[in-house]
Amino acid sequence: MNPLPIRMVVAAALIDRDGRVLLAERPAGKHLAGTWEFPGGKVETGETPEAALIRELREELGIETEASCLAPATFASHAYEHFHLVLMLYVCRKWQGTPHGHDGQRLRWERVNDLFSIDMPPADRPLIGTLAALI
Ligand code: C5P
């Protein structure tokens, strides 16, 4: 049996001045559509995780940040049906612009302790406890 391919994904816990965290809804037609994720996406070949996250935040939310504003927080790995996901989460408190869903995806700001009861992708859920202890 072939091992599952590994997919590296980076995501951000964007924290606002009130200590709330931004979640983005996964669009219809995509894997896990309708769940609320820490925004981010795949690390492309040859990219550093930080460069990938800066690009994803620009493409998905229209905001700009820089590597020095991305603090590695925690990671998780999860075996989805067709691939094994390694998800790295960064805390980000400083960016330029106002996040908005570039592809029309809905956004919401939530207190970290409220994330436990939100329908998040299975790879994201194990990150909540560590994030709650950090912020
Ligand atoms: O967003 P994109 O489709 O590029 O993400 C690649 C994969 O990573 C998807 O299968 C998605 O479900 C997963 N993912 C996740 N948690 C995130 C971001 C992406 O499980 N915060």
Give the tokens for residue 117. Answer: 């009861």
Asked whether the whole model's pTM tops 0.90, one would answer yes
User: What's the chain's Rg over C-alpha atoms?
Assistant: 14
Query: Is residue 93 a part of any domain in this protein?
Result: yes
Tell me, using a 6 A CB cutoff, whether residue 127 lines ligand 1: no
Domain that holds residue 14: 6-134
Tell me, using a 6 A CB cutoff, whether residue 42 lines ligand 1: yes
Query: Is residue 84 a part of any domain in this protein?
Result: yes
For position 3, what pLDDT does the model report?
87
Query: Is residue 1 a part of any domain in this protein?
Result: no
Q: Number of folded domains in the chain?
A: 1
Residue pLDDT, tens place only, 2-22: 789 999 999 999 999 999 999
Residue pLDDT, tens place only, 88-118: 999 999 999 999 999 889 999 999 999 999 9
User: CA 3 to CA 6: how far, in whole Å?
Assistant: 9
User: Relative to the CA of 80, which ligand 1 atom is closest?
Assistant: 10
Does ipTM come in above 0.90?
yes
Residue pLDDT, tens place only, 48-85: 999 999 999 999 999 999 999 999 999 999 999 999 99
